[in-house]
């Protein structure tokens, strides 16, 4: 049980790293923390990571960049779509790593099975 708690905390730290790196909370920190906690309670953390990065990529060139609860609502929309449709990622593990600075293995799978191209399940 103790290891599960440590793993859960590590997974949440990875998500927080992505959020903090890009200032995704904007000026709405409290509401965003609540929203993010709800997402992490409802979906596996690696899937939340992927949804956040996919949403970042979707809105990369928008100025000003989408932030706050609107950003998390877009990521949540992606997660809901993945509940009924196949998970389809437009980014590769290497791109995920470049964007987040994080090891892509928890999101894309082990190094032996790591696809060199985007996920399409």
Tell me if 38 sits within 8 A of 76, measured CB to CB. no
Residue 99 has what pLDDT?
96
Residue 2 has what pLDDT?
73
Residue 27 has what pLDDT?
87
Tell me if 66 sits within 8 A of 74, measured CB to CB. yes
Tell me if 108 sits within 8 A of 96, measured CB to CB. yes
Residue 58 has what pLDDT?
92
Residue 63 has what pLDDT?
85
pLDDT in tens, the chain (121 residues): 577 888 889 999 999 999 999 999 988 889 999 999 999 999 999 999 999 999 999 998 888 889 999 999 999 999 999 999 888 888 999 999 999 999 999 999 875 554 555 555 4
Question: CA-to-CA distance for 31 and 108, rounded, in angstroms?
Answer: 29
- Give the H or E element holding residue 73: helix 68-84
């Amino acid at each position: 049980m103790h290891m599960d708690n440590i793993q859960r905390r590590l997974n949440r730290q990875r998500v927080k790293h992505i959020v903090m790196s890009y200032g995704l909370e904007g000026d709405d920190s409290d509401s965003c923390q609540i929203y993010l906690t709800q997402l992490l309670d409802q979906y596996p953390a690696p899937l939340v990571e992927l949804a956040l990065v996919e949403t970042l990529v979707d809105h990369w060139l928008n100025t000003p960049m989408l932030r706050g609860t609107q950003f998390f609502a877009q990521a949540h929309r992606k997660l809901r779509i993945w509940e009924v449709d196949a998970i389809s990622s437009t980014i590769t593990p290497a791109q995920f790593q470049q964007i987040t600075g994080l090891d892509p293995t928890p999101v894309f799978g082990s190094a032996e099975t790591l696809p060199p191209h985007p996920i399409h399940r």
